[in-house]
Amino acid sequence: MPPRRLPWLLLIILGFAHLAFGPPVLTDSDIPRQPLTLPQLRGWQELPVPQISAAAAILVDSNTGEILYALNEHDRRAPASLVKLMTAMVALQNGRLDQKLRVRDADLMVYSVAGLKANEQLTLRDMLFILLIPSDNAASMTIARELGGNITTFVQWMNDMADGWGLQNTHFANPHGLDNKNQYMSAFDAAIIAHHAMRDPVIADIVRRPSAVLEGHWLENTNELLMTYTGTIGVKTGTEDDAGECLITMVDRPAGKVLSVVMGSTQRYIDTRLLLDYYYANFAELRVNLPPTALNEYVDADGNRHAFGLREPVTVLIHPSQVGTATYYRRIDNPTANPSADEPVGALEVMLQGRYLMEVPLYAR
């Protein structure tokens, strides 16, 4: 299935990119890295589109917004505990992290895997740890009841948030994800929810942890990929009779950041590994930017120097064998003495392995 563009996701992720070690960028000298040797090129094995057990799935490059694999991505399916990501976001919107929440007997009717007790008091921050790491159902009930006044109001807030994001194939009936005929989510919508969730530093910090210790509670993450797949930084598991096995995973490596969703799977970890391996075998991110150096200036007719650059960094997907082969040419078409902030002064031409890839407008800084 050929990659497709996803404009809404691109807008979300361009404001979120923060790789600790990114793909190639322009240096002062613009000298490309050493080309790969023939044995290295032979080592790059293109993987075919994987065959997975999941009933629905999606694979998205987080920095470009490109959908690289999709299977029944708009089908409405039982989401199980993927629901808890929305529970956490609504909680953060309506509560304070230091706010004390009290567990009630009614909250425990859906079972507490973390061993919450009636009348126990914890801060919202601690309750979010219990909600997201071991996926505790009672924590979701406590959060919803304490912040919303009642479960119905809180669930309505969840649906309001989903409606505000334009999620047409998502509806919530409870804050924990236990099967309910009126509760559903698509893999496409789950990807959007996960990207919103990972933009929140509190949630992103919690879901990346394999385990945590709170007073009186040992928490072990239900997502085993955090310990077994390099670069995994979240995000959430879910398992129920109607839902089957569900898993949203985000992986961040120097080659690229990717998000996968599988729903209705019988082997979610194998399915997810196949999708992630497919991504890293066939794609790598090339991030193009211009640093503010003397190389990135032009001289107008009066001899005055003007700095120029890209309006914002550009990320494109290339084959891993092309990493390090990018070369760049600055073309100044309009060396005006009074450059407009909205009118390009030229373009940056990007070549891969000596072949034209694209050009990006250059603007005066």
Would you name the residues annotated as active-site residues?
A: 81, 84, 135
Positive or negative torsion for Cα 49, 51, 56, 58 = negative
Residue 314 in tokens: 């550009």
3-state secondary structure (DSSP) of residue 326: strand
Q: How far apart are CA 294 and CA 28, in angstroms?
A: 8
Q: How far apart are CA 11 and CA 15, in angstroms?
A: 7
Amino acid type, 306: H
Q: How far apart are CA 151 and CA 155, in angstroms?
A: 6
Half-sphere exposure in the Cβ direction for 151 (13 Å, CA)? 14
Residue 31 in tokens: 């000298």
The position carrying tokens 């094995």 is 45
Residue 150 in tokens: 């009642």
CB-based contact 315:286 (threshold 8 Å): yes
Total Cβ atoms within 10 A of residue 59 = 30
Tell how many helices (H) and how many strands (E) occur in the chain: 10, 16
DSSP 266: S
CB-based contact 284:320 (threshold 8 Å): yes
| Residue 65 C-alpha from the chain's centroid | 10
Q: How far apart are CA 210 and CA 226, in angstroms?
A: 6
Positive or negative torsion for Cα 92, 269, 2, 243 = negative
Q: How far apart are CA 307 and CA 292, in angstroms?
A: 7
